[in-house]
Amino acid sequence: MSKTLENDLLKVVVVGHVDHGKSTLIGRLLVDTGKVPEDRVSSVERLCREKGISFEPAFLLDGFEEERDQGITIDTTRVNFEYDGKRFCIIDAPGHAEFLRNMTTAASHADVGVLVIDCQQGPRAQTLQHIRSLAMVGITDVIVVINKMDKVDYSQVEFDASATAVRQTLKEEALNCVAVVPISAQAGTNIFDSSDRMPWYSGKHLLKVLCELEQRDYTSKHDEQPFRMVLQDIYRFDEEQRYFAGRVVSGQINVGDDVVFSPSAKAARIKEIRQFPGLTLASAVKGDSIALTLTHDIFLERGEIVSRPHELPEIETEFCARIVWIGKEPFAPGAEYTIKIGTAESKCSISIVTAELKPEEAVLQNGMFADVLIKSEHPLAFDTSRFGVVNFVLCSKLETSAAGLVVEKVEALVQNMSPAKRAIFKETGFVERQEFENLHGHKGGVVWLTGLSGAGKSTLAKLIERRLFSEGCRVVVLDGDNLRHGLCADLGFSAADRSENVRRIAQMSRLLLNTGTIVIVACVSPYKKDREAAREIIGKESFFEVFVFCPLEVCQSRDPKGLYAKSKSGEMGGLSGIGAPYQPPSSPALRINSNEINPEASRDAVIDLLLSQRVIAAQLASKQRSTHGQVDLEPVLDIR
Amino acid sequence: MTDHLSRLENESVFIIREAYSRVENLAALWSMGKDSTVLLHLIRKAFVGHVPIPIVHIDTSYKIPEMISWRDDFVKRHGLRLIIGSNKQALADGMGPHQGRLTCCGSLKTEALLSTVREHKIKALFVGIRHDEEASRGKERIVSPRMSDAWSYKDQPAELWDYYNFHLPAEVDYRIHPLLHWTEIDIWKYIQREDLELIPLYYARDGVRYRSLGCAPCTGTIASTASSVEEIIKELETSRTGERAGRAQDQEHTYAMQRLRSGGYM
């Protein structure tokens, strides 16, 4: 790279709760770096005089009349400035909850976030919402500024209280907290130089933190990432030549490379990389808009992802994702939405797996986050890692309804798990598990049914038990609700009690497993870490996690135990999926959509699983095919 | 792609290609100014040397005369399909800046533009505006939907990552702003890098030059000796005056541009 080329801008989005001082901070940066044209400053000065107020730096960004009259930021804008030879683009983001879609728009274009917190108020509702939005749009690094330190006489105690709280929240959302800087945007303290007002603060001032960030490598190492190009269009302006136009979103590609187009699975070799007329490149990297020519002609349409043959993207019609709802219209269960991912589009349906809904409304709407299952009409190509094609939007006919991040594909069962190797009882004299199993004519195993209340776990457990019993198997059901009347009667529904509940069930399952028994656990078990602990206790070769999935709204309408009603009336709090989290399994052995297949077909799917895992023998299963017709079982063996 | 200008160029090309792929009846607005001339160049780059869409010029009849002769020559040499739009009725009725600058802009620019869009059934129009020009443009989206010609600036749609909204109901049409994130100095550095041909009015003659081009009665020159791209870049790097300080309509009152633009002005 030649030295005359300018370094790229570092794009910084400034977010925070309303009135915590975002626009004042940005205005301060602009005025003090002298980057605002004098006529723009003087027009704001004139306006402030007319209004009879002191100079308001926020007006430099809040250009709309309505914004200035009401003292709020309605929409995002961006301005560039330079400091110490470094170039920044500051993106202003509204703080009001109702403008979340503008805030999310702003954040989706940034490299790093600056979170402004009023030290007198600490983190507030929109602080958390903004932190989640940052994580959602793919930002990993956040600088926190604790503002209005002048209002608390530059008190370290006040600073520490806010700083500790926000560090914890960032950690929970897996964001990297680069620094926490005490400042006063109004007074200009600790922004451009270190302040002697706060001798207790030994860290860097804000601009220094920003400048050092820029020196870090935000342009990732292209050759270490898989190549991805999104195909925008195919041009045939010239008689002979067909150009495949698109943008490289990850990695690097060279002339002569073999590539595959997904989801069509067509293969080709790159003949030329045209950047622009008269300019052919030997290679292209992330960010380049290019037009490819291929060594032989193939028919393709917009929407494909181009990659190398050995590092293909996922191709699925179903995947799990985290979304933030930004539509004016709330989520309509069962309605048809369009997903746009890369340059592909498909109609799709959305099922909520879990969302933190307000019990009195229980509908996903503007500003709310949810984990969802997306089923598309056509196969879609995407990635599940942090780079490549991971972001998408969901659109209704009228608007962009949600922004999303692919979490994972619905994971396939890993075949041929290693046979039991763990010798759990070392002491001699006990009857070995193997001996029990020989006696029973089948192996022991634990089928762990997890899912929301009302998803159909208990119903399914009973059917499996009856089926196995009728075949002469040793089988037992451990039903979470029943155990809470006895073994776990001392436990409540806090996160800690839920963990303990799961631990006890797992320990009991292990004891039963060692008598060669097939254990059917029916338990909400909402936390991933608890289920992972259960897997450890039981042993992964005998632990079969089954995700009994059903859209939240259907669970609510079923409400077999009246829990949702109680939750709505406020009689009961902390129901998983509504007031408390439910973390769906990332790679269950089986996923059953109880809203789409009947309980008998669900039972047969579990029996098939036990068969494929050689817990039970083939002759048992051969009898079990009943008359439920064609069912939409989730293909658990999907190895491409 | 490691430098700033290349990133801007690549992003703009992506936007231009998205629009071309998603929308029928696309056109580009060209004022012969530096920005829309850069826009034309980017369109040619996006389509491997071709300009597959018509170019629209809104002629108020008050343009600096040199602009019109330069326009016709440029169109001929580059083989462009040019659509000239104007509000003939208003001109026949004597519309001009003497009736009030904002009234004149609304009639001869906004009205002329909207009727040209209707007449030629243009569904989406590329416009070379930039965030840093003035405050209301600072709040624009890359793709800005227009219902009944109006810009609902208080209620703009989300524009996440690189996903643009071309799926809105059939009665919506679009302004597309591929240069939105460029700054004035980016434009000049790009003109320098690409060695682009530009209308000579931008270069100083007799101690003055135009920094922004518009209609003759409402556009002023600035004192300058910058007679080459290099000198202009040097001048801008030290200037603390806004680009549109010479544009009279902007100075009418604080929210003049917000009012004009919410009605459909470019």
Q: Which residues of B touch A232 (CB under 8 A)?
A: 14, 17-18, 21
Tell me, rounded to whole angstroms, the distance of Cα A449 from its chain centroid. Answer: 24
Model pLDDT, residue A2: 31
Model pLDDT, residue A216: 53
Instruction: Flag if A64 and B258 touch (Cβ within 8 Å).
Output: yes
Q: How many angstroms away from the CA of A47 is the closest CA of chain B? A: 8
Instruction: Flag if B17 and A64 touch (Cβ within 8 Å).
Output: no
Beta carbons within 10 angstroms of residue A518's beta carbon: 26
Name the DSSP class of B97: G
Q: Which of the given ranges, A311-320, A593-602, B50-59, has the highest pLDDT on average? A: B50-59
Q: How many angstroms away from the CA of B242 is the closest CA of chain A? A: 5
Among the listed ranges A35-49, A312-326, B17-31, B196-210, which one has the minimum average pLDDT value? A35-49
Q: Where are the beta strands (DSSP E) in A328-444?
A: 337-341, 344-355, 369-382, 391-395, 400-409
Model pLDDT, residue B148: 80
Domain ranges in chain A are: 10-215, 222-307, 314-409, 433-622
Higher-pLDDT residue of A295, A83: A295
Model pLDDT, residue A615: 93
At residue B56 the predicted structure's pLDDT band, cuts being 50, 70 and 90, is very high
- Measured between CB atoms, does B238 come within 8 Å of chain A? no
Three state DSSP letters for B63-112: ECHHHHHHHHHHHHHHCCCEEEECCHHHHHCCCCHHHCHHHHHHHHHHHH
Q: Where are the beta strands (DSSP E) in A502-620?
A: 518-522, 543-549, 590-593
User: A141-147 and A112-118 as β-strands: parallel, antiparallel, unpaired?
Assistant: parallel
B69, pLDDT greater than 80: yes
Dist CA A515 CA A518 (whole Å): 9
- Please tell me if the domain spanning A10-215 has the same topology as the one spanning A433-622: yes
Shortest CA distance to A248 belongs to which of A224, A283, A215, A272? Answer: A283
Dist CA A10 CA A80 (whole Å): 10
For chain A, what percent of residues have pLDDT higher than 70?
Answer: 89
Model pLDDT, residue B122: 96
* A434-448 per-position pLDDT tens digit: 889 988 989 999 999
At residue B163 the predicted structure's pLDDT band, cuts being 50, 70 and 90, is very high
Instruction: Flag if B132 and A79 touch (Cβ within 8 Å).
Output: yes
Dist CA A112 CA B7 (whole Å): 18
A12, pLDDT greater than 60: yes
* A447-468 per-position pLDDT tens digit: 999 998 889 999 999 999 999 9
Among the listed ranges A53-57, A87-91, A155-159, B42-46, which one has the minimum average pLDDT value? A53-57
A578, pLDDT greater than 80: no
Model pLDDT, residue B238: 85
Name the DSSP class of A583: -
Cα-flanking dihedrals φ and ψ of residue A419, to 5°? -65, 160
Q: Which residues of B touch A101 (CB under 8 A)?
A: 157-158
A83, pLDDT greater than 90: no
3 state SS of A359: coil
Tell which CATH architecture fits domain A222-307: Beta Barrel (2.40)
Across the range B80-91, mean pLDDT stands at 95
Model pLDDT, residue A146: 96
Topology at the third CATH level for domain A10-215 = Rossmann fold (3.40.50)
Q: How many angstroms away from the CA of A393 is the closest CA of chain B? A: 7
Instruction: Flag if B160 and A104 touch (Cβ within 8 Å).
Output: yes
A415, pLDDT greater than 60: no
Across the range A284-298, mean pLDDT stands at 92
Q: Which amino acid is at B93?
A: D
Contact (CB, 8 A) for A223 and A285 = no
At residue A420 the predicted structure's pLDDT band, cuts being 50, 70 and 90, is very low
Model pLDDT, residue A402: 96
Shortest CA distance to B15 belongs to which of B43, B55, B36? Answer: B43
Q: Which residues of A touch B169 (CB under 8 A)?
A: 397-398
Dist CA A17 CA A148 (whole Å): 13
Q: Residue B45 is nearest to which of A34, A75, A277, comparing CB atoms?
A: A277
Dist CA A621 CA A610 (whole Å): 9
Q: In a mutagenesis test of the B interface, which of A232, A237, A279, A337 is the best target, namely the one with the most B β-carbons within 10 Å?
A: A232
Q: In a mutagenesis test of the B interface, which of A137, A276, A329 is the best target, namely the one with the most B β-carbons within 10 Å?
A: A276
Within the 92-131 window of chain B, which residues sit less than 8 Å (CB to CB) from chain A? 131
Contact (CB, 8 A) for A315 and A263 = yes
Answer yes or no: CATH 2.40.30.10 is held by domain A314-409: yes
Q: Which residues of B touch A393 (CB under 8 A)?
A: 158, 160-161, 163
For chain A, what percent of residues have pLDDT higher than 90?
Answer: 48
Model pLDDT, residue A426: 38
Answer yes or no: CATH 1.10.1740.10 is held by domain A433-622: no
Give the residue from chain A lying closest to B236, CA to CA: A37
Model pLDDT, residue B34: 97
Give the residue from chain B lying closest to A390, CA to CA: B161
Q: Which of the given ranges, A416-420, B228-232, B235-239, has the highest pLDDT on average? A: B228-232
At residue A636 the predicted structure's pLDDT band, cuts being 50, 70 and 90, is very low
Structural domains in chain B, sorted by start? 4-183+253-262 (3.40.50.620), 199-251 (no CATH)
Cβ neighbours of residue B113 closer than 8 Å, sequence gap 6 or more: B29, B56, B58, B85, B264, B265, B266
* A369-407 per-position pLDDT tens digit: 998 889 999 999 999 877 789 999 999 988 999 999 988
Q: Residue A74 is nearest to which of B9, B138, B154, comparing CB atoms?
A: B154
* B114-162 per-position pLDDT tens digit: 999 999 999 999 999 999 888 888 899 999 999 888 888 888 999 999 9
Model pLDDT, residue A434: 87
Q: Which residues of B touch A277 (CB under 8 A)?
A: 44-45, 48-49
A639, pLDDT greater than 80: no
Q: Residue A39 is nearest to which of B1, B9, B241, comparing CB atoms?
A: B241
B264, pLDDT greater than 50: yes
Give the residue from chain B lying closest to A81, CA to CA: B183
* A194-236 per-position pLDDT tens digit: 888 899 999 999 999 998 886 554 555 666 789 999 999 999 9
- Measured between CB atoms, does B79 come within 8 Å of chain A? no
- Measured between CB atoms, does B240 come within 8 Å of chain A? yes
Instruction: Flag if A276 and B45 touch (Cβ within 8 Å).
Output: yes
* A28-79 per-position pLDDT tens digit: 888 888 777 777 788 888 888 888 888 888 888 888 888 888 878 888 888 8
- Measured between CB atoms, does B144 come within 8 Å of chain A? no
Q: Which residues of A touch B243 (CB under 8 A)?
A: 37
Give the residue from chain B lying closest to A60, CA to CA: B135
